[in-house]
Structure 1
Amino acid sequence: MDKDVFIEDIQLRSHGFTRENGGAAITMDDNFLRWPNMFDAHSHHMLELSLVKSGSGSYEIGKHMYDLVAGDIFVIGNTEAHRIVLRKGQYVDNLTIHFETSFLWNFYGQTEDIQLLDVFFNRGANFSHQLDRANPSTKEVADLILKMEQVFITQPPYYKLRVKILLETILCSILCNYDYCEASHNSARLLSHKDIYKIDEVMDYINFHLGNHLTLQELAKIACVSPAYFSSIFKRYNGVTLFEYITQKRVDYAIQLIKTSNKSLMEIATLCGFNSSTSFNKAFSRITGLAPSYYRKKGGT
């Protein structure tokens, strides 16, 4: 999956690969932003690691504002609204990794790999979204991210496995070399292989039925568990609620249709499971930082 999109002074190049059911597992996006064209604050169901390749500006993440320069790395959770803020004359070339939590077990993974996500879900008092510039490990992590970009571009043998190993190495380095997580040796967040299989089965069903009216009761029945239990394990493993996940997958599908079809935005909204143009526009803008009409006008194929 290689795509180029140009939106005035917003330029994006995307690499990635998908789950067997078609849902995105991991993407790497090279975003070039120049003032005054910027994304609005947005959030998404994927976790994010961001490396500033060049330029300067500010990164707003939730209630925090960080100055950014080349070499900075940011860790952003899947419920945190964020945006890059530029002043007159500024630009940023920002390389981002977006990945689903399931990527760590859907591609050659083990259930214990979820502990690598503590920097997103088990943060301590010293946590900062911005990796410490003075820590020598920050340069090492940056080099690993750039190496991953080259793997995506060249796609050598076993490149999917290489990408996963690089991501695990990056996350492990952050866990071990920064005092950002709560010290914990329990396995309270680990799920059984049986629970993981249930979640995976339901995620497959969601990806193939985004246009349908989906209910918690229906999805819990597929997993053969109670609605309350399924809701609990889904959020524990994915970091977002079931219906936030569904909304964001619907927006992902809408983006795909905007890029690859001539269907009207109302048709796309209906195909993606939105019951009104208002709900579609609101969800699309919140997740992408752009209105669907603007996205089609400036970024469509």
Structure 2
Amino acid sequence: MNIQAKHYKLQDDELLIAYSQYFGAFDMPDNHMHDTFELYYLMSGERNYFIKDRLYQLRKGDIVFIPKYELHRTLAAGTPHHDRFLIEFSERLFWETIGESYDEILLRPYLRGIRTFRPKPEEQLVLDGIVYRIIRDLKHPQTAHALQVKLLAIDVMLFLARCLERYAEDDSESDPPIHRKISDIAAYINTHYMCPLTLAQLSETFSLSPHYISRIFKEKTGFSFIQYLTYVRIGEAKRLLRESDRKVLEIADQVGFENLAHFNRVFKQTVQLSPSQYRRMSGSPLSP
């Protein structure tokens, strides 16, 4: 199917606000992981959203919270068209705009591991009122004031934080069995990535054929088994490069690579930087 899309956005150093309309069944083409927090609001249609090791079925009105450095990808679901609104932001947004004291409130869903939330109908009316004001300004940037749009985006996050204080996270047992199986497989990879992992091992562990695991994992998450294993390993390597003083050789071994040359090659293919370059670019005070 031919995909058409319309995109509207406002972006600066600490904030991205974007609204997109997709006409046709769209799958995010690449893996997605960034050093900012993300709030995703599905305004129409249905989507499958894979985050780290779990697959979520989204429908109109659902909110998704994605922390920094967490692998995620959206995939087509039951409807061919969808609209989505998102905010990507760093902690600097609070420090520079409304003060550091709001960190604990606005980051609460990310720090508590809440990934999806569906506001009640009356709350969604309030939310849509704010979001549509932002979209109007995104569509007419020549008359919009950037600071006003930014403050409205913060208002969205603050409103949702207040809503979340009143409700518990949805029970994951409502997930379809195949989604729970995919989540189990992804969680297994996330806890065994440092070991030599193969489809044959997964087949034995989960009592499913290698072909079935390969097909269904790709179909439901958008990642092949090898792609996902690689992203998990490289994601952990990036964390260690940012947060530890371990040598690159030690990190390569710790995340499951058999030799340094292979690790360096895969890291550069995935991140577009060598491990040492990434460590410097990340602002880590630690030497490579």
TM-score by length of 2: 0.52
Q: Secondary structure at the match of 1:13?
A: strand
Residues 1:279 and 2:267 aligned together? yes
Per the TM alignment, residue 59 of structure 1 is displaced from its structure 2 partner at its CA by 1.6
User: Given the alignment, which residue of 55, 72, 82 partners 1:82?
Assistant: 72
AA aligned to 1:84 is T
Corresponding position: 1:166 with 2:160: no
Q: Deviations over 1:110-163 (max 9, x none)?
A: 22232343334431xxx6422224353233223322321222232376722212
Question: Alignment partner for residue 54 of structure 1, among 33, 44, 57?
Answer: 44
Q: Give the SS at the match of 1:136.
A: helix
Residue aligning to 1:130: 116
Measure how far apart 1:61 and its partner are.
1.9
Counterpart of 2:25, as a letter, is: W
Aligned residue number for residue 284 of structure 2: none
- What is the match of residue 161 of structure 2? 175
Q: Mapping of 1:204-215 within 5 angstroms?
A: none
Which among 106, 110, 130 is matched to residue 117 of structure 1?
106
Partner of 1:201: none
Q: Which amino acid aligns with 1:171?
A: M
Which is higher, the Rg of structure 1 or of structure 2?
Answer: 2
From 99, 102, 111, the counterpart of 2:89? 99
The 8 Å contact of residues 76 and 120 in structure 1, kept in 2 or not, is answered as no
> Aligned partner of 2:267: which letter?
S
Contact 1:34 1:91 in 2 (8 A): yes
Find 1:145's aligned residue among 131, 135, 140. 131
Q: Are 1:18 and 2:7 matched, yes or no?
A: no
Structure 2 CA distance for aligned equivalents of residues 102 and 241 of structure 1: 20
Decide whether aligned partners of structure 1 residues 17 and 56 sit closer, same or farther in structure 2, where only a CA change above 3 A counts: closer
Offset, 1:57? 2.8
Among all aligned residue pairs of Structure 1 and Structure 2, give the percentage whose two residues are the same amino acid.
Answer: 16
Quickly say closer, same or farther: Cα 1:113–1:37, change in 2 above 3 A: closer
Letter aligned with residue 28 of structure 1: A
Task: Assess if the C-alpha contact under 8 Å between 1:14 and 1:28 holds in 2.
Answer: yes
**SS of equivalent residue, structure 1 residue 141:** helix
CA contact (8 A) 2:64 2:116 kept: yes
* Number of the residue aligned with 1:9: 3
In structure 2, relative to structure 1, the CA distance for the partners of 1:12 and 1:144 (3 Å cut) is same
Contact 1:71 1:142 in 2 (8 A): no
RMSD of aligned alpha carbons? 3.7
Name structure 2 gaps, 5 residues minimum: 169-237, 244-263, 273-288
Secondary structure at 1:144's aligned position in 2? helix
* Equivalent-residue separation in structure 1 for 2:57 and 2:46 (angstroms): 8
8 A Cα contact 2:46 2:79, kept in partner: no
Aligned residues between the structures: 184
State the Cα distance separating 1:282 from its structure 2 match.
0.6
Helix, strand or coil at the partner of 1:74: strand
